[in-house]
């Protein structure tokens, strides 16, 4: 081994030994300060003591091998002559000792860097407007969502996500909802299986833009894609199984989702995803398939199709039941400059109990956003044409038809806060013929 390598080895040995000694002393200091021994600290001190003993043993071994190598080099013939066999053996043992030391360093580093805590992150927003963005009958200043999420690291393959959200109802009361509670197993980069409550994978917005308003460049979701308790007409959450993944194909990748879970039910005009299961045992499910271009002139473009079906009843007397079938497609163009999104939903809903046949409806939106140096201006048009003789839409509080035009802009104040402005005009077209305009301001943060 060259002298520079040996000097470096001695330096590294000495430095690592000093670090280990310093770390080993810390639990003793903590013991002196508190007057009692923490079981976890005792176990950590025991492991560190073992590591220190190994480091000391390896240090002595490296010194012994270096001494033998120096003696062999002094007695060797001129440099052109091949080295003696014992020297080769010593070099091999020295390399083995170096490898053990490298491995020990990595283990100690990973142990030291391991985050055994549970970091908490979240989002919050407040705002003011001529109308409340969710409850248009209300005006003035409003408190939006306070959303917390946890994504603990549990192992090489186990994944988890939990999200708690506080929402303010139209009567001003604050409710807490477990928005997502999913535990999954990642088989590889191409497949992950989730179990629990998750965002139903249809379209693009429902899985890409979650409850935290800061995530979305726009001030709010399209009205018909709001979450269930905010008047949405689609089951934004499902409790069941979800297989998702992607694989590279050609100049892009194919993304897929297959899912099945408890059939939702309608209570008091709001879709409920039946967290604890349902009484009828019915299941719902669907699939989504998309292709994302990763190179060439189409880079940033994603095209997809989706379908969902479920038997959904309500709590009317007598109760209604509908076989809901929703399908459609979406397109997203997301680059450094553009964020353009379009989604279309077609409904072929069959009345099971009432015998009124099949009812056809549709909903969709198109949105254009430009990432300028000063902010993100956007424009969106959304529209629904929902058949009111369909028992599914008739039972939903937000099941009326409408169309809306919105213009807005997002301004990032820093990396964790943004102010959004929106001007919108909404026209209701069947249950009532009301029309109203909105001027909205929102302050959204992440933490």
Q: Are residues 288 and 183 in the same domain?
A: yes
CATH of the domain at 205: 2.40.160.10
What's the pLDDT at 205?
Answer: 97
Distance between terminal CA atoms of the chain? 51
Of 78, 113, 148, which residue sits at a domain end? 113
What is the Cα Rg of the chain in Å?
Answer: 31
Long-range Cβ pairs for the range 394-397 (8 Å, 24+)? 395/266, 395/269, 395/314, 395/316, 395/320, 396/233, 396/266, 396/269, 396/270, 396/271, 397/231, 397/268, 397/269, 397/270
Q: Are residues 223 and 252 in the same domain?
A: yes
Of 93, 113, 133, which residue sits at a domain end? 113
Q: Are residues 192 and 334 in the same domain?
A: yes
pTM of the complete model beyond 0.85: no
Over residues 366-404, the pLDDT tens digits come to 999 999 999 999 999 999 999 999 999 999 999 999 999
What is the C-alpha separation between 162 and 446, in angstroms, rounded? Answer: 16
Q: Are residues 365 and 325 in the same domain?
A: yes
Q: Are residues 227 and 338 in the same domain?
A: yes
Domain span at residue 46? 3-113
Q: Do 213 and 219 touch, CB atoms closer than 8 A? A: yes
Over residues 60-87, the pLDDT tens digits come to 665 666 666 666 665 555 554 444 444 4
pLDDT band of residue 32 (cuts 50, 70, 90) is very low
Q: How many domains, in total, are found in the chain?
A: 2
Q: Are residues 174 and 280 in the same domain?
A: yes
Of 35 and 127, more confident: 127
User: Residues of the chain with pLDDT > 90: what percent?
Assistant: 63
Of 62, 91, 113, which residue sits at a domain end? 113
Residue with tokens 């689609």: 234
Q: Are residues 200 and 235 in the same domain?
A: yes
Q: Are residues 67 and 136 in the same domain?
A: no
Q: Are residues 305 and 434 in the same domain?
A: yes
Q: Are residues 100 and 162 in the same domain?
A: no
Q: Are residues 104 and 137 in the same domain?
A: no
Q: Are residues 107 and 142 in the same domain?
A: no
């Amino acid at each position: 081994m060259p002298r520079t390598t040996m000097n470096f080895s001695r330096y590294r040995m000495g430095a690592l030994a000093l670090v280990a000694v310093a770390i080993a002393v810390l639990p003793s200091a903590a013991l002196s300060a508190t007057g009692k021994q923490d079981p976890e600290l005792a176990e950590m001190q025991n492991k560190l003591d073992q590591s220190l003993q190994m480091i000391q043993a390896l240090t002595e071994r490296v010194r012994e091998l270096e001494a033998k190598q120096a003696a062999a080099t002094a007695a060797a013939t001129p440099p052109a002559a091949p080295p003696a066999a014992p020297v080769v053996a010593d070099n091999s043992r020295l390399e083995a000792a170096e490898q053990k030391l490298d491995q020990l360093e990595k283990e100690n580093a990973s142990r030291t860097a391991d985050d055994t805590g549970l970091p908490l992150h979240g989002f919050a927003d407040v705002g003011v407007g001529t109308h409340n963005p969710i409850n248009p009958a209300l005006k003035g200043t409003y408190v939006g969502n306070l959303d917390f999420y946890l994504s603990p690291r549990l192992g090489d393959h186990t994944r988890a996500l939990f999200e708690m959200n506080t929402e303010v109802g139209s009567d001003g009361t604050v409710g807490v909802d477990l928005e997502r509670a999913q535990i999954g197993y990642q088989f590889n980069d191409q497949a992950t299986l989730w179990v629990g409550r998750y965002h139903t994978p249809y379209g693009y917005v429902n899985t890409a833009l979650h409850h935290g308003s800061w995530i979305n460049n726009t001030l709010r979701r399209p009205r018909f894609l709001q979450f269930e308790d905010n008047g949405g007409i689609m089951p934004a959450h499902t409790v069941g199984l979800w297989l998702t993944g992607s694989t590279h194909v050609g100049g892009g990748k194919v993304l897929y989702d297959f899912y099945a879970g408890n059939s939702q039910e309608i209570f008091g005009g709001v879709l409920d995803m039946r967290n604890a299961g349902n009484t009828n045992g019915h299941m719902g499910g669907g699939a989504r398939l998309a292709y994302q271009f990763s190179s060439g002139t189409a880079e940033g473009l994603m095209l997809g199709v989706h379908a969902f079906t479920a038997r959904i009843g309500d709590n009317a007397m007598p109760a209604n039941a509908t076989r809901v079938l929703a399908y459609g497609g979406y397109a997203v163009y997301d680059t450094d400059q553009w964020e353009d999104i379009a989604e279309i939903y077609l409904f072929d809903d069959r009345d099971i109990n009432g015998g009124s046949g099949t009812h056809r409806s549709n909903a969709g939106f198109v949105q254009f956003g430009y990432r300028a140096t000063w902010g993100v201006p956007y424009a969106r048009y959304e529209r629904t044409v929902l058949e009111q003789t369909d028992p599914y839409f008739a039972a939903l509080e937000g099941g009326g038809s409408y169309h809306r035009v919105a213009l807005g802009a997002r301004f990032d104040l820093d990396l964790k806060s943004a102010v959004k402005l929106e001007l919108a005009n909404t026209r209701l077209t069947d249950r009532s013929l009301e029309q109203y305009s909105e001027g909205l301001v929102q302050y959204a943060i992440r933490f």
